[in-house]
């Protein structure tokens, strides 16, 4: 029996006769939204293993981190400057350890670093919940920080992320009730700490502390009545620790890419996963087991899930207007979630998943064996197109190939299933493969330039890869067994080849 948790139905199509025309995202919007919380001002693993952690962040291909100004630490400044040098910029939280003028001096010092590491400045973290901080002191500090920051040319113009609240069902409401007010004009982004608490992001507790994400956004908009875009500066999943609650590693690997998709659909621009690595130096208990890296810098399944997802959607460049994909879903589509993306090369990414619970959250969690749902996907405006299938939660390679996108039968799991759809003759170049069938060699020619050729089997597994720089390429296929293969050219065009 399939487990179905509570979800908000997003009914794209209910019969095979209806065409779905939905909003298309730029693929890179998903890749660019991912950030990691770090603690590079800490001693221990963050200090001792900095080079390894920087390489892990580069491997992940994440572009954003979130850290804190914890004193005038020159080592910390050097670390975030090095990270900025490889394209990883920082959201720096402005904590009230000093007076606000001293904070301003600190930010001026950061801004003067050669790689300009600061891309966002953030209000004090969860200040309203600090022990001993009165509501009036909190509000006063927010205002003093804003006016100090906003009235100096050194920091004016750096986007400002608004006040954060702990994972509390009504933090902004308590702030308003204690004398606070609408902060729309004092921030560029709202700020959610929307930990799903071991549940699924699409469900009734996906916004944290027993409320759905929509409710969490509505609560924050009490101080964001101008609806500035949102950043979820803390979110993620923890594994069990010292008999405290958590989810399994494979459950987190399913949930976190789904969380990114759900956040994007809800209008959240950035999602900073908590956290990069577990470090027992400063935290204890369950709060210290959120890392996508273990304390020895080894990669968890959730690390690979995020890495594979970013890789699939990575498509940096100037903004463009994506085209519309007309498609139909038929079968048991009840509750199936779908999002459409497009890359600059014209390829579409159709993402499908079941928005249901994937396992328990406890001191001894276990995974549910949720069966996939068979549906048919029909593409009506990509005549002659092909598609590769991916499940980035568990595999970096394609897991299937469709020689025609006219009608594709797929099994939708409780992790994201991605169809990368390549329109026929992408880029307008005519590609020829001959002889086909062939036994010894095949020739590939194109009006444009061939830069790469990948030979895959029917499951999409790569057998050979060739780097080229020519309009015509000859490939030796004598060593591969007889059968049907696919040739992927320039990462776009996919053609079938029969080896005799």
What dihedral do alpha carbons 32, 36, 41, 43 form, nearest 10°? -140
Contacts of 135 (CB under 8 A, 6+ apart): 128, 175, 178, 179, 180
Condensed to tens digits (0 to 9), the pLDDT of residues 20-30 reads 557 899 999 99
Which pLDDT does position 181 carry in this prediction?
93
Residue 135 has pLDDT above 90, yes or no: no
Which pLDDT does position 382 carry in this prediction?
72
Which pLDDT does position 430 carry in this prediction?
60
Which pLDDT does position 17 carry in this prediction?
39
CB 394 within 8 A of CB 253: yes
Long-range contacts formed by 147-150: CB under 8 A, 24+ apart: 148/100, 148/101, 148/103, 148/104, 149/94, 149/100, 149/103, 149/104, 149/107, 149/121, 150/186
Looking at the DSSP bridge assignments, the partners of residue 476 are: 441
Residue 282 has pLDDT above 90, yes or no: no
What is the C-alpha to C-alpha distance for residues 359 and 367, in angstroms, rounded to an integer?
Answer: 4
Condensed to tens digits (0 to 9), the pLDDT of residues 485-495 reads 888 887 766 67
Considering the domain 27-313 in this protein, what is its CATH number?
Answer: 3.20.20.80
Which pLDDT does position 390 carry in this prediction?
95
Which pLDDT does position 5 carry in this prediction?
33
As its CATH architecture, domain 320-424 has Sandwich (2.60)
CB 257 within 8 A of CB 416: yes
What is the C-alpha to C-alpha distance for residues 110 and 95, in angstroms, rounded to an integer?
Answer: 15
Residue 10 has pLDDT above 80, yes or no: no
Highest mean pLDDT among 230-234, 313-317, 477-481: 230-234
Residue 393 has pLDDT above 80, yes or no: yes
Tokens of 98: 């000093």
The mean-pLDDT minimum among 65-69, 84-88, 439-443 falls in: 439-443
- Per-residue pLDDT band for 2 (boundaries 50, 70, 90) equals very low
Mean pLDDT over 202-221 rounds to 94
Mean pLDDT over 396-410 rounds to 90
Of 144 and 380, more confident: 144
Mean pLDDT over 267-282 rounds to 86
Domains of the chain, by residue range, sit at 27-313, 320-424, 427-499
Condensed to tens digits (0 to 9), the pLDDT of residues 332-365 reads 999 999 999 999 888 999 999 999 999 999 999 9
The mean-pLDDT minimum among 74-83, 114-123, 235-244 falls in: 235-244
Contacts of 151 (CB under 8 A, 6+ apart): none
Residue 281 has pLDDT above 80, yes or no: no
How much of the chain is helix, strand and coil, in % rounded to 5?
Answer: 25, 30, 45
- Per-residue pLDDT band for 13 (boundaries 50, 70, 90) equals very low
Which pLDDT does position 264 carry in this prediction?
98
Condensed to tens digits (0 to 9), the pLDDT of residues 87-120 reads 999 999 988 777 888 888 888 888 889 999 999 9
pTM equals: 0.83
The mean-pLDDT minimum among 144-158, 390-404, 425-439 falls in: 425-439
Which pLDDT does position 288 carry in this prediction?
67
Q: In which region does residue 151 sit, left (phi positive, over 0), alpha (psi from -120 to 50) or beta (all else)?
A: alpha
The mean-pLDDT minimum among 2-6, 14-18, 162-166, 402-406 falls in: 2-6
- Per-residue pLDDT band for 412 (boundaries 50, 70, 90) equals very high
Mean pLDDT over 178-183 rounds to 92
- Per-residue pLDDT band for 71 (boundaries 50, 70, 90) equals low
Of 496 and 17, more confident: 496
What is the C-alpha to C-alpha distance for residues 355 and 337, in angstroms, rounded to an integer?
Answer: 7
Residue 287 has pLDDT above 80, yes or no: no
Mean pLDDT over 388-399 rounds to 94
- Same-fold call for 27-313 versus 427-499: no
Which pLDDT does position 482 carry in this prediction?
86
% of the chain beyond a pLDDT of 70 = 90
Of 392 and 492, more confident: 392
Domain 427-499 in CATH 3.40.50.1100? The answer is: no
């Amino acid at each position: 029996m399939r487990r179905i948790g509570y979800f908000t139905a997003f009914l794209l199509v209910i019969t095979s006769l209806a065409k779905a025309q939905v909003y298309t995202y730029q693929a890179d919007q998903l890749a660019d939204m991912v950030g990691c919380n770090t603690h590079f001002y800490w001693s221990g693993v963050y200090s001792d293993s900095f080079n390894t952690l920087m390489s892990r962040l580069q491997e992940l291909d994440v572009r954003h981190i979130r850290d804190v100004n914890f004193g005038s630490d020159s080592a910390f400044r050097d670390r975030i400057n090095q990270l900025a040098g490889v394209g990883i910029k920082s959201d720096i939280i402005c904590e009230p350890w000093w007076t606000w003028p001293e904070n301003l001096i600190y930010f001026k010092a950061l801004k003067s670093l050669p790689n300009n590491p600061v891309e966002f400045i953030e209000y004090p973290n969860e200040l309203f919940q600090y022990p001993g901080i009165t509501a009036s002191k909190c509000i006063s500090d927010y205002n003093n920080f804003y006016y100090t920051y906003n009235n100096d040319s050194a920091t004016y113009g750096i986007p400002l992320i608004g006040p954060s609240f702990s994972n509390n069902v009504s933090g902004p409401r308590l702030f308003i009730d204690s004398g606070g007010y609408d902060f729309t004009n004092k921030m560029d982004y709202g700020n959610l700490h929307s930990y799903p608490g071991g549940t699924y992001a699409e469900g009734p507790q996906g916004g944290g502390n027993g409320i759905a994400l929509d409710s969490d956004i509505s609560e924050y908009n009490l101080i964001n009545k101008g609806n500035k875009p949102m950043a979820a500066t803390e979110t993620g999943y923890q594994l069990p620790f010292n008999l405290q609650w958590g989810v399994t590693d494979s459950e987190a690997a399913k949930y976190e890419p789904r969380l990114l998709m759900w956040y994007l659909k809800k209008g959240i621009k950035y999602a900073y996963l908590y956290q990069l690595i577990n470090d027992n130096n400063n935290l204890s208990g369950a709060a210290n087991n959120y890392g996508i890296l273990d304390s020895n810098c080894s990669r968890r399944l959730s690390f690979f899930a995020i890495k594979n997802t970013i890789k699939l959607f990575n498509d940096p460049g100037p903004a463009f207007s994506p085209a519309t994909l007309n498609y139909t879903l038929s079968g048991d589509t009840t509750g199936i979630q779908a999002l459409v993306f497009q890359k600059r090369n014209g390829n579409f990414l159709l993402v499908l998943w079941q928005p249901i619970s994937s396992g328990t959250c406890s001191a001894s969690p276990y995974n549910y064996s949720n069966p996939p749902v068979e549906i048919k996907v029909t593409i009506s405006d990509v005549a002659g197109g092909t598609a590769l299938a991916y499940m980035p939660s568990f595999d970096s390679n394609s897991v299937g190939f469709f020689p025609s996108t006219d009608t594709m039968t797929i099994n939708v799991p409780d992790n994201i299933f991605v169809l990368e759809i390549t329109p026929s003759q992408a880029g307008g170049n005519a590609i020829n493969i001959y002889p086909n069938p062939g036994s010894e060699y095949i020739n590939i020619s194109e009006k444009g330039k061939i830069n790469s050729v990948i030979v895959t089997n029917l499951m999409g597994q790569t057998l050979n890869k060739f780097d080229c720089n020519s309009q015509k390429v000859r490939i030796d296929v004598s060593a591969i067994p007889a059968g049907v293969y696919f040739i992927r050219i320039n990462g776009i065009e996919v053609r079938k080849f029969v080896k005799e």
